[in-house]
Amino acid sequence: MVICILIVALSGCGKEEPKVYRVGIVYTIDPLVSIADSFKAKMAELGYIEGENIAYDVQKTSFEPNEIQQVLKGFVEDKVDLIFAFPTELALAAKAATEATNIPVVFAYSTTEGNNLVESVRQPGGNITGVREIGSDIEAKRLEILHELAPQAKLVYITYKVDAPPAAATVEALQKASSLMNITLVKAPVTTIEEMKARLQEQAALDDLGMDAILLLSEPICASPAGTEAISRFAAKHKVPMGGIGKYSVHEEWGAKAIIFSYEVYLDDIGKLAATLADKILKGTPAGTIPVVTPEAKLLINYKVAQELGLTVPEGLLARADEIIR
């Protein structure tokens, strides 16, 4: 009997409880939640099953620094196994919050230009890697597409949060690109959405709007639902063609009336790419040695709105489109 009990006891000793990884996810605006959702879905495909071997703490925050720091402080105190943070402002804050720890950070929808987020794309260094925003190159490409769709537009209105991390590099790239296309940028740097709305009201009060087209930028004000909606309503009211950023903005009721195209990395793709990086990290690869991933942008053309605005969509552009709304 004693031997039997000993055998049973020893057989139980060899079993280890499966490790449950804890991942803190922090993001800002509502549309970006799809990055978190697709991240979790891809992680499940890779074998990380929520409730079995992985647990998520998903937090939405504003762009307010104290609120961001409070969320990240909680992750650090909980000693999570990994932090997934996006967009740029949160990625930078996550890097700073984890400098004195061994907690790895995966970022997404974040620019690596004009900041110290990574040492380089090939060798990010420290405890961080991620999926970068394509950066100023994509903004110049958007302007090029807008020019193809609305070649008569010589005054292109851009508004942006003046202190946003990507702002300076973005405007510089657009300035160079616009000079090659004989386009004048009408710049409206602001600090808040309310200020942006006030600037649009000022433009609307003029005898001449002072713009032939609008280009949304990948920055906090344009990318926010409230910001995109306000600009889209203005554009629709005054029949000003507008280039969008994300697929979500084109499909929303208020955006679909004015946005003639979007050229952006699909948010679902970003989450999936980030999951492959997280998988490598949780399996033991140091985050800072994993090259930053550069995703592929996709072109969506709102053919219906372009026609309503009297624009001719070149066949070549239609052939390059990944999606067309007719």
C-alpha of 125 from chain center: 22
Q: Helices H, strands E: what count in the chain?
A: 13, 12
pLDDT at 255 over 70: no
Whether residue 27 is found in the same domain as residue 46: yes
What letter does residue 36 receive in the DSSP assignment?
H
For residue range 185-203, what is the model confidence (pLDDT) as tens digits? 999 999 999 999 999 999 9
The answer to whether 261 touches 243, Cβ cutoff 8 Å, is yes
Most confident of 66-75, 126-135, 257-266: 66-75
Query: What is the pLDDT confidence band of residue 7, given thresholds at 50, 70 and 90?
Result: very low
Closest CA to 140 of 115, 173, 163: 173
Residue-level pLDDT at 6? 46
Does 234 map to a domain?
yes
pLDDT at 323 over 70: yes
Whether residue 277 is found in the same domain as residue 257: no
Whether residue 36 is found in the same domain as residue 167: no
pLDDT at 139 over 70: yes
50 φψ region: left (φ > 0), alpha (ψ -120 to 50), beta (else): beta
The answer to whether 255 touches 216, Cβ cutoff 8 Å, is no
Query: What is the pLDDT confidence band of residue 9, given thresholds at 50, 70 and 90?
Result: very low
Query: What is the pLDDT confidence band of residue 166, given thresholds at 50, 70 and 90?
Result: confident
Which of 97-101, 165-169, 178-182 is predicted with the least confidence, judged by mean pLDDT? Answer: 165-169
What letter does residue 129 receive in the DSSP assignment?
E
Query: What is the pLDDT confidence band of residue 15, given thresholds at 50, 70 and 90?
Result: low
Whether residue 145 is found in the same domain as residue 97: no
Q: Which positions ≥6 away from 32 have C-beta within 8 Å?
A: 86, 87, 109, 267
Residue-level pLDDT at 252? 59
pLDDT at 11 over 60: no
Q: How far apart are CA 283 and CA 128, in angstroms?
A: 15
Whether residue 311 is found in the same domain as residue 282: no
Whether residue 66 is found in the same domain as residue 119: yes
Residue-level pLDDT at 63? 87
CATH at residue 311: 3.40.50.2300
For residue range 199-231, what is the model confidence (pLDDT) as tens digits? 999 999 998 999 999 999 988 888 888 888 899
Whether residue 166 is found in the same domain as residue 313: yes
Query: What is the pLDDT confidence band of residue 100, given thresholds at 50, 70 and 90?
Result: very high
| Domain extent at residue 244 | 136-264+298-325
b or e along 298-325 (b: 16 or more beta carbons within 10 Å of the residue's beta carbon)?
ebbbbbebbeebebebeeebeeebeeeb
